[in-house]
Structure 1
Amino acid sequence: MKTLSNIPLLRLGHAWGKLIKKKAFARGSELGLIFSAMLIGLAAGAAVSGMSWISRSLHSLIFGIGRLDWLSASIIDNKLIVLTAPIIGGMLLGVVLFILSRRRRRAIVDPIEANALYGGRISLTDSFIVAGQNLISNGFGASVGLEAGYTQLSAGLASKLGSKLNLRREDMRILVGCGAAGAIAAAFNAPLTGAFYAFELIIGTYSMVALAPVVISAIIATFVARALSGDSFLIEVGEIGTITPADYVPAILLGAICAGVGIVIMQGVAFIEELARKSSIPPYVRPALGGIVVGLLGMVTPQVLSAGHGALHLNLDSDAPVKILIGIFLLKSLASAVSIGSGFRGGLFFASLFMGSLIGKIFGMPADMITTGSLTPTVLAVVGMSALAVAIIGGPLTMTFLALEITADFPITALVLAAVITSSLVVRTTFGYSFATWRFHLRGESIRSAHDVGWIRNLTVEKLMRSDVKCARLGVSLEEFRETFPLGAAKRVILLDTSDRYAGVVSLPELYAEEADTARPRTRLEDFLTHHNDFLLPQMNAKQAVEIFDQSRAEALPVINNLIDRRVIGQLSEAHTLRRYSEELDRRRREAVGEA
C-alpha cells in the first residue's frame, strides 16, 4: 500500500536510476563500454551459434548427411550431389550478386577496414548481406569458412549499438573489436584467442581502456555459444608428448616453411581473382564456374568441402601416408583459392588451420632427421596450423593463445610461439601483408592493419584552408599592384590569368624589397611569380599537404578546385597544417590511453 513517506523514495530511486544510466552510457565512459560489451558478447554468441546451425542444417539437407556430422569428414555415396551442390550454390550466389549490382553501388566495408578508415562504422544491412552470402557459400560446400560472416555480423551489431549510443570514434572502434572478439571466441571456444584477435587484427593496438570490454565480450560470447551449441566448436587434439629444447629447431624451420606456403596461397587467390577480372565473364557468373571446380575436387575427396572442421579432426586422429596428406593439402589449397577467387564469400581462417595441420604432419618425416624423433605428429600439426594461420590471417599472439586453449599445454605453447614469430617475421619482411590487407592492397587501399588512419583522411585540405585569399590578375603594372596591395596588406598575393586560372604566387615582402635592390631591377609583375605548378587540392589530407610543402619549400600554397579548371578556392599555410596535424595526433593518443 502506497504511503506519503515512500513516494519521495520512489521518485528518488527513479532519478538515481536515470542518472546512473546516463552516466554509464555517456560518451567516453568505461562503465558504459563494459555494459555495451556484455550486450555485444550475448549477440555475438547467439549469431555464431545461429549461423553454425543454419550451415550444418544446409549440409544435412543438401548432402544427406547426419545433422551432427561434419561435411568434410562424411562419406557421401551420391557423387552427383557433391558435384552439383557447389554449382547450385554458385548460381544462387550469382543471383544475389546480380541483384546487389543493380541496387547497391558502394563496396561492403569489413571490420578491419571500418576501424582503419571509418571510425568503426559498419552498415548492419551490409553485415547481414555478407553473413547471408557466407552461409550460401559454406552451406553448399564451397571451400570457405564461416569466420568472415561471424565477425562481420557481430561487428555490425556492435557498430549499430555504438551508433545508437552516439559514442565517440575511439569507443566505436573498441566496440567493433568487442564484436569480432566475441565472434572468434565463440567460434573456437577460446576467449583469449578472440580477445587477442580483436587487439591484433581489428583494433590494431592494445590499450587498458579496451582490455575489459574486449575480454568480457569474448568470455560472454563463449558461454552463450556453449550453452546454445554444446561442444560443437571444440578442437580436440591427441597426445602431446614431451617437448625438449632441441624441438625448437624443427619448429622454427616449420614456421618458415608455413610462411612460404602462406604467401603462395595468398598470391594464388589473387592470381585467380585477377584472371577472373581480366576475363569477359560477369562477376555474377564466376561463382557457378568456381563451383564446377570445387565440385570436381569434392568428388575426389569431401575433405576439400566447406571449412574443414571434420577433416581437421579426421587427419589429427589418423596415420595416413605422407602421399595422401600431400594430395589432400594440394586439393584443399586449390579448392580454397578457387572458391575465394571466383567470388564465393568467406574466409580462410579455419582452412588455414586445416592446411597448416597437414603441413605439420607432412613435415614429420624430415623433422625426425633433425631431432631424435621426440616430436609427435600431433605436436607438429598444432605448430603447423598456428604458423600457417599467422602467415595468412596474421596475429601471432592470437594463434599462440589458440594453441594454448585447444591443448591446455604450456610447453607446446612456447614451441608454437617460436614458430609463429618466425612465420610472421618471414611474411612481413618478404611479402608485407596478411590475407585481408593484401586484398586491400589489390583494391588500391594502403592499409597494413586496423590501426586508425581514417582520421588522417578526414583531416582534409578543404577543412583546413582559409577561403579569404588575396588575388590579382596578370598584366597589371607594378605601380598599380603596389597601390592595390601596400606593404603589410598581406604576406602573399595569388595571381590569376585572363581565364581566372591559377598562375602563381607573389611575395609582397620580396616585391617591396626589390625597390632597394638596384643591381637586379625587375620591371614586370610576372618577374616576381613563384610556385607556378605548386598547389593543393581540396581532397588531399594533411599528410599529403605536408609532403607538398616540403617538396615545394613553400610556407603557404593556394588550393585549387581541380587540375582542369585550376580555380583558386582557398589558401593553406604549412604552419597551420602542422599545428592541426599535431593536435589530432595528440588527441588520438589521449583517446587510446583513456585520457580524453
Structure 2
Amino acid sequence: MTHPVGETKPLIRLVAVVMTGFLAGLAGMLLAMILHSIQHLAFGYSMDRIISPESFLQGVTDADHLRRLAAIITGGLVAGCGWWLLGRYGRKRVSIKAAVSSNATPMPPGTTTLHALLQIVTVALGSPLGREVAPREMGALAGGFMARRLGLAADEARTLIACGAGAGLAAVYNVPLAGALFTLEVLLLSFSWEKTLAAIITSAIAAWTATLGLGNESQYHFASGVLSPSFLAWAIVAGPVLGAGAWLFRKTTGAARAEVKDNWQMPVFCLLAFSLLAVLSLWFPELPGNGKGPMQLALSDSINFHHAAWLLGLKMVVILAVLRGGAEGGLLTPGLTVGGLLSLLLCVLWQLMFPGGDIGSFALVGGAAFLAASMQMPLTAVTLVMEFTHMNHDYFVPALLCAAGAVITCRVLEKTQR
C-alpha cells in the first residue's frame, strides 16, 4: 500500500535521523576502541582489555623511555607520511562545514575515512591534538549517506549531515546534550524546532549506542566543592583575560595550519615535531595525548603552580609544532586543557588577595570559558564541561558569566584585527 507524500515524508525523515544517530554512535564507539587498543599496544599497559581504568597518562608515565620515544616518533612518521600521501593520491577532502554549506559537496567516503583513522592513530601514539574531529567526520559521512539513500531534499540533507557530526561528538565523549547543541550552535546556526529535535534524537541515540561498547563513564572525575564567596567575582574578572588568551590561541593555531605545505616538508616537519614531543615527554609525560591527563590533574588539585606553568608553555609549543608539521586533529580537548592550566595560574594570583576556594573549581570554570571563546560556542562549551564532569548546579552562573566575558573579549579582539 502506498502512502501520500505528505504522510510518508516525515516518516522517512525520522528513519534517516534514527539511522544517522545509530551509525554515528557505532562509528564513535569503534574509533574509540581503535584508539584505546593502539594506546595499550604502543605504550604497553592494560594489554588484557580495551576499556581500562588505567589512564593514558598513567600508561605513558609507566612506559620505559625507549618505548615512549619509539611510540611517539612512530606517530610522527604515520602523521607526516599518511597525510602527505592522502593529499597527493586521495580525492580532495570536504570538511564538515563545507558539506553543510549552501553549496554542499558530498564528503568522499574513502578520503574521509582514512583522514579520520589517521587522526585516531596519531592521537593514540601521542599527538597533542584532539580526537573529536574523527567521529564528527564519520557521523557527518553517515548523515550524508542516509540522506542520499532516502532521497532527502538538499536542505534536509545538510541538516542531517550536521546532526551526524554532532552525534559523533556525543558518541565519543558520551555528551548527548552537548552534541545536540554543537549541531545547532556551531554547524547549523539555527534553533528551529525541526532541526532541534533532529539534533537531540541523533545525539541521544549515538551516545547510547556508544555506551554499549565504551561504558557509561564520565570523561573527567571532579568532586564539586563549596564555592568561596569571591569565586563569582573571579569568574567575571577572569573572563576577559581568558578571552584574550583564547584569541591568541586561535590566532597562533590558525597561523600554524596556514603554513603547512603539502610536499616533502610534511613528513620531515611532522617527524621533527613529534621527535620534540617525544624528548620532552621524558621529563613531562603529561604532554603526549589530547590533554585529558593534565586537565584531570588540574581538576583534582594534583598539580602545583610551577608545573602548571611549564605544562602550559610546553603544551602550546608541541601543539603549534605538530600543526605546523601538518598533523590533523581537533582543538577541543587541547583548548580545554590550555584554558584549565591558564586558569590555575590566574587562580594562584587571585588567591594572593582573596584566599580560599577549591583550585579544581577555578580550572573547571576557566577551562570552559577558554573553550567557549577559542571555539566560539558558549552554550556548547559550558554544557560539554557539565557533561564531562557532572558538575553541580552551583557552577552554572560563574561558568556562564566567565564564558560570556571570554567570548565577547575574543570577538572584539578579532574584529580589531580585521
TM-score with structure 2 setting the length: 0.90
Contact 1:262–1:391 (8 Å) recurs in 2: yes
Report the count of equivalent residues. 411
Contact 1:86–1:141 (8 Å) recurs in 2: yes
Q: Distance in 2 between matches of 1:77 and 1:104?
A: 36
Q: Distance in 1 between matches of 2:227 and 2:23?
A: 40
Q: Distance in 2 between matches of 1:177 and 1:332?
A: 31
- 1:449-486 CA deviation, whole Å, 9 max, x = no partner? xxxxxxxxxxxxxxxxxxxxxxxxxxxxxxxxxxxxxx
Contact 1:71–1:302 (8 Å) recurs in 2: no
The CA deviation at 1:103 is 2.3
Contact 1:87–1:291 (8 Å) recurs in 2: yes
Letter of the 2:242 counterpart: C
The one of 185, 200, 224 equivalent to 1:239 is 224
Q: Distance in 1 between matches of 2:261 and 2:84?
A: 16
RMSD over aligned Cα atoms = 2.5
The one of 252, 269, 272 equivalent to 2:253 is 269
Answer 1 or 2: higher relative contact order, Cα 8 Å, separation at least 6.
2
Q: Distance in 2 between matches of 1:233 and 1:120?
A: 36
Work out whether 1:259 is the aligned partner of 2:243. Answer: yes
Q: Distance in 2 between matches of 1:201 and 1:336?
A: 23
Contact 1:73–1:314 (8 Å) recurs in 2: no
The one of 46, 55, 65 equivalent to 2:45 is 65
- 1:162-218 CA deviation, whole Å, 9 max, x = no partner? 122221122112111211221222233221111111111111222111011110111
Letter of the 1:395 counterpart: M
Question: Could you tell me which residue of structure 1 aligns to residue 376 of structure 2?
Answer: 394
Work out whether 1:320 is the aligned partner of 2:303. Answer: yes
Question: Could you tell me which residue of structure 2 aligns to residue 250 of structure 1?
Answer: 234
Alignment of 1:402-551 (within 5 A): 402-405=384-387, 406-431=389-414
SS in 1 for 2:350: helix
The CA deviation at 1:85 is 2.0
Q: Distance in 1 between matches of 2:212 and 2:233?
A: 41
The CA deviation at 1:381 is 1.1
Work out whether 1:44 is the aligned partner of 2:29. Answer: no
Q: Distance in 1 between matches of 2:370 and 2:336?
A: 7
Alignment of 1:130-279 (within 5 A): 130-242=115-227, 244=229, 246-274=230-258, 276-277=260-261
Alignment of 1:276-355 (within 5 A): 276-277=260-261, 281-355=264-338
Closer/same/farther in 2, CA of residues 25 and 360 from structure 1, 3 Å limit: farther
Contact 1:336–1:348 (8 Å) recurs in 2: no
Letter of the 2:106 counterpart: R
Work out whether 1:76 is the aligned partner of 2:62. Answer: yes
SS in 1 for 2:408: helix
Q: Which blocks of at least 5 consecutive residues in structure 1 are unaligned?
A: 1-14, 442-596
Q: Which has the higher strand share?
A: 1
- 1:276-320 CA deviation, whole Å, 9 max, x = no partner? 549x85334332222112212222212111112233223322342
Q: Distance in 2 between matches of 1:411 and 1:282?
A: 50
SS in 2 for 1:302: coil
The CA deviation at 1:105 is 5.6
Q: Which has the higher helix share?
A: 2
SS in 1 for 2:3: helix
The one of 359, 374, 382 equivalent to 1:377 is 359
Question: Could you tell me which residue of structure 1 aligns to residue 106 of structure 2?
Answer: 121
Closer/same/farther in 2, CA of residues 25 and 295 from structure 1, 3 Å limit: farther
Q: Distance in 2 between matches of 1:196 and 1:138?
A: 25
Closer/same/farther in 2, CA of residues 24 and 311 from structure 1, 3 Å limit: farther
Contact 1:34–1:212 (8 Å) recurs in 2: no
Letter of the 1:90 counterpart: G
Q: Distance in 1 between matches of 2:300 and 2:110?
A: 41
Q: Distance in 2 between matches of 1:370 and 1:38?
A: 53
Residues 41-50 or 91-100, more deviating? 91-100
Q: Distance in 1 between matches of 2:32 and 2:218?
A: 9
Closer/same/farther in 2, CA of residues 322 and 408 from structure 1, 3 Å limit: closer
The CA deviation at 1:142 is 0.9
Question: Could you tell me which residue of structure 2 aligns to residue 103 of structure 1?
Answer: 89
- 1:553-592 CA deviation, whole Å, 9 max, x = no partner? xxxxxxxxxxxxxxxxxxxxxxxxxxxxxxxxxxxxxxxx
Closer/same/farther in 2, CA of residues 296 and 212 from structure 1, 3 Å limit: same
Question: Could you tell me which residue of structure 2 aligns to residue 593 of structure 1?
Answer: none
Q: Distance in 2 between matches of 1:263 and 1:315?
A: 22
| Identical amino acids, percent of aligned pairs | 19
Letter of the 1:163 counterpart: R
Residues 227-236 or 333-342, more deviating? 227-236
